[in-house]
Amino acid sequence: MKGRIVTELSISTAAGVFDATVAGPPEGRPVLMLHGFPQTRLVWQRQIADSAAHGYRVVAPDQRGYSPGARPERPADYRMNVLVDDVVAITEELGWGSFDLVGHDWGGAVAWWTADAHPDRVRTLTVVSTPHPGALATTLRTDKDQRERSQYMIAWRETPATEERMLAGDAEALRAAYTGKVPQASAEAYVRHLSQPGALTAALNWYRAGRPDGAIGVIEVPTLYVWSTQDSAFGPAAARETGQWVNGPYRFETLQGVSHWVPEEAPETLSRLLLEHLRAHGESGTTANTPSVDSQKR
């Protein structure tokens, strides 16, 4: 049972200090989980517990802008290549030569780009909701439905109008974003976190950073993509197109009647799919590896 205990971790990098949750035996196969907007590492609480219970060493950080110790002010400091560098820096600080990577929403986008840039380090990739960026770009050109779904990304680049609108009236608009699909306690925790001075602006800077530097390629690592039919941000065209951008072993799962908030709305199903994917592409959770240095950094 000791390996399943969930604890807190501070991960110091050249870019700043990232707050993180860690669980599972130090010798376990390492798994990194990346959250999206407007959430925090709390989104993964069920998947962290389930993966740790199966012997995996799981770390879920609050990403750049969400961790107070890694919250630069300029939108340019949230470019995709910088976010990918954060993943590399975090895993190097943890002593992980290779790792399984999981992402949802913006965390999914970072996961796609990381797997493309560092296929030698990413053992497997699991992305929830977010299509491959190349697939999304294609459907933004060819699919009216996806263009309409993505209009919010343009609107949210307004500053400070977006922050003021989301936080007005005791953050009424921000609370409404969770559409009743996220547990109330988690929604309130997200609102408290993003109501901290500068936190929501930092989170929205992900949308304001501009286009990624360069183009993303086809993914070669084993990939699980989980999409849900009631996702308001990403439609079926981009979801189907994603398979054209993966050359490695690929599994596409559709969750019927589930909204964008998959990790919290369908936690048991997502944990099952994730564990099946991890087992299908490597040894079980506990390995004979030397314990990671993250066990020394609490």
Band (pLDDT 50/70/90 cuts) for residue 286 is low
Strands of the chain, DSSP E = 7-13, 16-23, 30-34, 57-61, 99-104, 122-128, 223-230, 250-259
Contact 112, 219 (CB under 8 A): yes
Q: What is the predicted pLDDT for the residue at 285?
A: 59
Nearest-angstrom CA–CA distance, 196 and 170: 13
Is the pLDDT higher at 273 or at 298?
Answer: 273
Residue closest to 253 by CA, chosen among 222, 278, 223, 221: 223
What are the tens digits of pLDDT across the range 80-120?
A: 999 999 999 999 999 999 999 999 999 999 999 999 999 99
Strand arrangement, sheet containing 250-259 = 7-13, 16-23, 57-61, 30-34, 99-104, 122-128, 223-230, 250-259
Band (pLDDT 50/70/90 cuts) for residue 298 is very low
The CATH architecture annotation of domain 2-287 reads 3-Layer(aba) Sandwich (3.40)
For residue 294, pLDDT over 60 is answered with: no
Is the pLDDT higher at 2 or at 22?
Answer: 22
Looking at the DSSP bridge assignments, the partners of residue 33 are 102
For 14, phi then psi, to 5°, come to -65, -25
Query: In residues, how long is the chain?
Result: 298
Classify residue 84 as exposed, middle or buried by CB count within 10 Å of its CB (0-12, 13-18, 19+): buried
Q: What is the predicted pLDDT for the residue at 180?
A: 86
Nearest-angstrom CA–CA distance, 231 and 149: 10
Residue closest to 212 by CA, chosen among 123, 136, 126: 136
Q: What is the predicted pLDDT for the residue at 2?
A: 43
Q: What is the predicted pLDDT for the residue at 128?
A: 98
3-state secondary structure 123-152: EEEEEECCCCHHHHHHHHHHCHHHHHHCHH
Q: What is the predicted pLDDT for the residue at 66?
A: 98
Residue in the structure block whose two tokens are 């994730």: 274
What are the tens digits of pLDDT across the range 214-271?
A: 899 999 999 999 999 999 999 999 999 999 999 999 999 999 999 999 999 999 999 9
What are the tens digits of pLDDT across the range 18-53?
A: 999 999 999 999 999 999 999 999 999 999 999 999
Band (pLDDT 50/70/90 cuts) for residue 295 is very low
**Mean pLDDT (whole number) for 191-213:** 95
Token pair recorded at residue 270: 């997502």
Residue in the structure block whose two tokens are 């086809």: 218
What are the tens digits of pLDDT across the range 150-176?
A: 999 999 998 889 999 999 999 999 999
For residue 287, pLDDT over 70 is answered with: no
